[in-house]
A and B are shown apart, each in its own frame.
Chain A
Amino acid sequence: MKDFALLFRQPSYDYQQLPEAEQAVLIKKWQDWLGGIAAQGKLVSPPTRLIPNQGRVLKPGGVVTDGPFVEIRERLGGLTVIRAADLDEATTLAHGCPAIEVGGSVEIRPVMG
């Protein structure tokens, strides 16, 4: 078994602006999907969510810019690490990720070590 990072990219993260009922639906989708991976004992660590529209970018020459990182069409919204036999299985597990439903993507990357 190897570890893979799943990086979630979505065009928008304005969950807070959504009506409460829709927020609850979204949360349930994420939980059901992650719960399904965790139920197989394949979640390595609880997922990390990035706070949208906050943070900074450090560039060469000491240039610091504020987030959000508008030039990227799909913003990185969070990540988690899972365990799978190979890249194929990791990709199978990534299916059903709610980020995809809203036009986003999941990047599946083997973790070194």
Chain B
Amino acid sequence: MNQERATIDQLFQQEFSKMVAVISRQFGLEHIETAEDIVGDTFLTAAENWAEKGIPENPAAWLYVVAKQKTLAMFRRGTTWKEKVLPAVKAGLETEEPETDLDFSAQNIQDSQLRMIFAICNPAIASESQIGLALRILCGFGIDEIAAAFLTNKETINKRLFRAKEKLRTENIRMELPPEHLLDARLDNVLHIIYLLFNEGYYSRTQDTILQKDLCLEAMRLGLLLTAFPVTAQPRTFALIALMCFHASRFEARESAADTLVLYDEQDENLWDRELVQQGMHFLGLSATGSMLSSYHLEARIAFLHCRKEDTPEKWLEILAMYNELLIINYSPSAALNRTFALYKAHGADIALAEAEKLQLTENHFYWMLLGELTRHSHPAKAAAHYQQAYDLAKTAAEKEGILRVQRSLHLG
């Protein structure tokens, strides 16, 4: 029984997005909710049937057959479908008989998912809703899990998804690839959403580490999906995947038994995932074509350098150079703080402190941690005050615990 449950959960995660994409492509994005219902219903039937008869040999194929039947039944029965969908389908296909047979070939699944990615990562929808919708429709996450990832309740997520789906309808967003002249800009948006999705997992607000990993893995899966198509397999796509591989390689090392965030310097490098580092290097190589240097290229290069544990001044000079370039094309507070940390490692605390004080990111607890680090040897009393500021601003228990640990190690004379 438990094994069936686990299999169904796993299948749901794998197959939900594929089936919804194929059905939505066939009948139009305005029927995405019906598509979700059909797939949800298919899984209910599977749960009942498999509990009795056991799991079939090819569960995915079984699911596709049942989903086809249910779609067909919906067609024949539903008056809404007869009145609204059929004319639309007929008009679109210009055939007498509506196409009701769903194509669950690997090729069509992949094509449909790619179109779905572009439909959901549409700038007409608020970025937060894009992530929510991506988690639901592209990754098959439950409302509970999405709420946990955003540290909010189910009601908020449901509202957000409802509004996003309404937007799909009112903006008349189609399951198509954008026209060629818009493709570049729209791909940027898709990559940005995947990047945010990954960060949502990697720097998660939730304490649920399984959920954190799932978020990261799904972001990577979506990135890899883009590599299957020439129009989306761009150097910056590879750079983003490389970046995610390098970060993900340190996932295990970041966690310690006490559930506190392990600072980079304390990480056990034996826990780094060498295979992911290798993968990252492979994709970094593929990203090194063309003339466009995206922020993903720079971030991937920085993450790669961090995968080398030895602490040489050359390494930090290169990291500093990358952060300078990154900030020149794309400012973010975290890049500004990291740049100053690299400056410290490359040129010492005095130079870095003067630059750090100019940042004035006084609402950011990492800013105060940086000031603490830069003053801990020269002015331990000042450092203690900085860490206190950081402690007061930190939001999670794990962060507060980490700051306390650093603060306790100060040598107050």
Contacts and interface: CB of A to CB of B under 8 A. Distances in A.
B355 interface: yes
Contact of B340 (A39, A41, A47): A39
A39 B359 contact: yes
A39 B324 CA distance: 8
Interface string B130-156: 000000000000000000000000000
B358 A34 contact: no
B198 interface: no
Given A31-B321, A32-B324, A34-B324, A39 B339 contact: yes
Nearest to B325: A31
A6 interface: no
A47 B360 CA distance: 24
Interface in A18-49: 28, 31-32, 34-36, 38-41, 43, 46-47
B329 A46 contact: yes
Contact of A36 (B331, B335, B355): B355
Contacts of A40: 336, 358-360
A46 B325 CA distance: 9
Contacts of A31: 321, 324-325, 328
A46 B336 CA distance: 16
Given A36-B355, A36-B358, A43 B321 contact: no
Contacts of A41: 331, 333, 336
B302 to A, nearest CB: 13
Residue in B321, B328, B336 whose Cβ sees the most chain A Cβ within 10 Å: B328
Nearest to A24: B321
Nearest to A38: B327
Contacts of B272: none
Interface in B352-401: 355, 358-360
A36 B336 CA distance: 9
A61 B335 CA distance: 51
Contact of B336 (A32, A34, A39): A39
A43 B324 contact: no
Interface in B214-250: none
Top 4 A-B pairs, shortest CB-CB distance: A35-B324, A38-B327, A39-B336, A31-B324
Interface of B: 317, 320-321, 323-325, 327-329, 331, 333, 335-336, 339-340, 343, 355, 358-360
